[in-house]
Structure 1
Amino acid sequence: MERVLGIGGYFLRAADPAALGAWYRECLGLDADENGVWRQEAGVTVFATFESGTDYFGSRTQGTMLNFRVRDLDAMLAQLRAKGADVAKETEDMEGVGRFGWVTDPEGNRVELWQPS
């Protein structure tokens, strides 16, 4: 059986694509080139399905949620708050998995940040 090799891209609709791309570069340090190519660090990727009625993604109109691995969740959340980003007050610790926090981008998409154990 042929298998996929990994995530090849993640695409977002935006009222202002240039501004949203700039937000991801300036607030999260996602340094994609002019074609959107981003060379991420090697590491695990979680693929999981959720019940259709979940509130975990924030708005129920949001069909998917992007999750970024981070080295230091507290430092990333502080950086985002300093830039005026909409950061959730709560974080979550999951034993054996890691710590989670959330930010909502300027277009209203909830993004999860994960510091693996």
Structure 2
Amino acid sequence: MLTQIDHARNGELTAEMQQVAVQEKMDPDTVLSRVKEGSLVIMTRHGNPPVAIGEGAATKIAAHIGDSMKYGLAEKDRLLAKRRTSFDWEGQMELAFDPDRPRDFCPMEGPCSMCGNTVPYR
């Protein structure tokens, strides 16, 4: 079984890469290139649309978490976690690094285009 990066290294634009290009409003060749170099990862889950994580994608991994204390972000991280658990959408957007981008991808009521039906809504 080939992975997305295997396909990209073979120069093959997969259906998942094409779907991510549409979702992320990116050129398909850019998606292919970023997957090939490893700066963009495509996560697929059975029954849900593929999700891109990395350069140019709306979904990010909190890689800064280890530096929260070092750079004074610990309080911001705590506030963001609190707002997530209380389903405070606007509060999360206020704390986002780029508040406009998530608004384009996640509706205020489900299902979320990134999470499918896995995220509960009020």
Specify the structure having the higher radius of gyration (Cα): 2
With normalisation by structure 2, the TM-score equals 0.28
Is the strand fraction higher in 1 or 2? 1
Is the helix fraction higher in 1 or 2? 2
The structure showing larger relative contact order (alpha-carbon pairs under 8 Å, at least 6 residues apart) is 1
